[in-house]
């Protein structure tokens, strides 16, 4: 099952991460109060996790064919999808840092093993966006066990567990981030914002919604007000992003959306868009939009090394404004991402999967 009109949303989410990191002072992304929408990078990562769980269910959950799922084939496919470009980006940043300040081999090893998000002090080491892939790889390790529970008829049990984990995560996050022990960038901060345990709730809920969607909603007739409900849900999400500072001031506590607090709304928008059959689906399914969505992973993971390369080459010799440099960098990043997807990601992924199929067939 292909839901191509969901693909472009990955590109939009990845762009907000880029705006958050490098476009906070650039118009129109710095215009208040709409800057909260353009620069919702950390919250966009939460959307990625919700979407990932949903897509994993759509791609791999087969209600009547549990025996068709091969965990090793799944893990190889996930490795082939994320690791090659992840490795290239990591080595580019490692090499650049080695020239200036050096990097301990232990830091490189943690990043190579995608374990950096587990260890306070290391989540943002080297290629900082890679922390989310460290979290995602943990989800991939857990997925076969979660899917096995669903196949054994434990959907309701897993649903209750997911809700409990979601509640515990939100209470824990809110309590710790408002505690006296918390300061930005300390070890407690790293645990709250980057540890995979603090994000597994989003993936689990996404997975269960995807399973339910495939079991129940897929066969239902098109709902005539689907588009209106989708637009309303997106409006609610936008309002929640814009008014968060006011909400925090009213409650006199810090509120975050980064650990799945608004994941239910994300998933509602995902389901509504997945069921969309009108002009919105047609618009989001435009071939160039789908291509940008497919290239969004390269855009996300290469943003830091491309930024470094741009500013040590083009920006160094062109006396242009920060505004122009940002858009030139963004254009370069998008072009490189598309080329990476077409010429590196896809061929290498296909080669790794082909190697595994031929290797496993020989063993059988």
Q: For residue 312, give every residue at least 6 positions away whose Cβ sits within 8 Å of its Cβ, in sequence order, or none.
A: none
How many residues belong to the chain? Answer: 364
Supply the mean pLDDT for the chain. Answer: 91
Which pLDDT band holds residue 29 (cuts at 50, 70, 90)?
confident
Q: Report d(CA 59, CA 68) in Å as an integer.
A: 12
- 77 near 357, Cβ under 8 Å? no
Q: What is the pLDDT of residues 135-172, one digit of tens each?
A: 999 999 999 999 999 999 999 999 999 999 999 999 99
Closest CA to 257 of 270, 271, 242, 272: 242
Mean pLDDT of 105-127: 93
Q: What was the pLDDT predicted at 7? A: 94
State how far the Cα of 166 lies from the Cα of 157, in Å rounded to an integer.
14
Residues 6+ apart with CB under 8 A from 336: 298, 302, 306
Are 17 and 41 in contact by the 8 Å Cβ rule? The answer is yes
Q: Is the pTM of this model over 0.85?
A: yes
CA distance 299 to 347: 17
pLDDT per residue over 65-110, tens digit each? 777 889 999 999 999 999 999 999 999 999 887 765 556 888 999 9
Q: For the residues 349-362, what does the mean pLDDT come to?
A: 84
Q: What share of the chain is helix, strand, coil (3-state, %, to 5)?
A: 75, 0, 25
Which candidate, 1, 17, 22, 6, places its Cα nearest to that of 329?
22
Per residue in 243-291, pLDDT (tens digit) is 988 888 888 899 999 999 999 999 999 999 998 888 888 899 999 999 9
> Distance (Å, rounded) from C-alpha 115 to C-alpha 112?
8
| pLDDT (0 to 100) of residue 261 | 94
pLDDT of residue 221: 65
Q: Is the dihedral of CA 221, 156, 160, 51 positive or negative?
A: negative
The whole-number average pLDDT for the span 233-249 is 91
- Give residue 184's pLDDT band: very low, low, confident or very high (50, 70, 90): confident
Question: What does the pLDDT read at residue 364?
Answer: 54
Place of tokens 């529970």: 149
Distances from the Cα of 259 to the Cαs of 132, 148, 289, 359, in angstroms? 12, 25, 28, 39
223 vs 186: which has the higher pLDDT? 186
pLDDT (average), residues 178-182: 92
**What local confidence, expressed as pLDDT, does residue 101 receive?**
57
More confident residue, 2 or 132: 132
- Between the alpha carbon of residue 29 and those of residues 25, 35, 38, 319, 333, the distances in Å are 7, 5, 6, 22, 18
Q: How far apart are CA 199 and CA 194, in angstroms?
A: 8
Confidence of residue 315 (pLDDT cuts 50, 70, 90): confident
Mean pLDDT to the nearest integer, 295-299: 97
- Which pLDDT value is given to residue 69? 87
What pLDDT shows up at residue 34?
87
């Amino acid at each position: 099952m292909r839901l191509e009109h969901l693909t472009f949303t990955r590109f939009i989410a990845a762009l907000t991460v880029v705006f958050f990191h490098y476009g906070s002072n650039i118009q129109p992304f710095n215009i208040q109060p709409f800057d909260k929408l353009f620069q919702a990078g950390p919250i966009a990562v939460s959307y990625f996790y919700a979407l990932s769980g949903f897509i994993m269910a759509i791609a791999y959950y087969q209600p009547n064919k549990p025996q068709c799922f091969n965990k090793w084939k799944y893990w190889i496919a996930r490795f082939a999808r994320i690791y090659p470009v992840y490795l290239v980006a990591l080595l580019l940043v490692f090499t650049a840092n080695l020239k200036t300040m050096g990097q301990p081999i232990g830091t490189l090893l943690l990043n190579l093993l995608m374990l950096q998000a587990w260890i306070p002090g290391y989540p943002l080491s080297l290629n900082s966006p890679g922390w989310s892939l460290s979290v995602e790889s943990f989800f991939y390790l857990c997925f076969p066990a979660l899917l096995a529970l669903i196949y054994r008829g434990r959907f309701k049990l897993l649903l209750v567990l997911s809700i409990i984990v979601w509640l515990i995560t939100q209470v824990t996050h809110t309590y710790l981030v408002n505690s006296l022990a918390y300061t930005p960038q300390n070890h407690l901060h790293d645990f709250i914002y980057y540890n995979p345990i603090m994000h597994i709730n989003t993936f689990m809920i996404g997975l269960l919604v995807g399973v339910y969607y495939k079991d129940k909603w897929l066969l239902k007739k098109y709902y005539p007000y689907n588009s209106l409900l989708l637009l309303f849900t997106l409006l609610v999400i936008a309002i929640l992003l814009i008014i968060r500072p006011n909400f925090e001031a009213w409650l006199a506590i810090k509120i975050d959306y980064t650990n799945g607090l608004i994941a239910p709304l994300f998933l509602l928008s995902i389901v509504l868009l997945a069921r969309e059959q009108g002009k919105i689906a047609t618009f989001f399914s435009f071939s160039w939009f789908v291509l940008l969505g497919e290239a969004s992973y390269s855009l996300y993971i290469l943003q830091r090394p491309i930024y470094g390369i741009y500013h040590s080459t083009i920006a160094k010799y062109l006396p242009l404004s920060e505004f122009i440099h940002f858009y030139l960098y963004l254009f370069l990043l998008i072009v490189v991402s598309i080329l990476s997807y077409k010429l590196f990601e896809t061929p290498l992924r296909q080669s790794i999967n082909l190697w595994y199929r031929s290797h496993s067939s020989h063993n059988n």
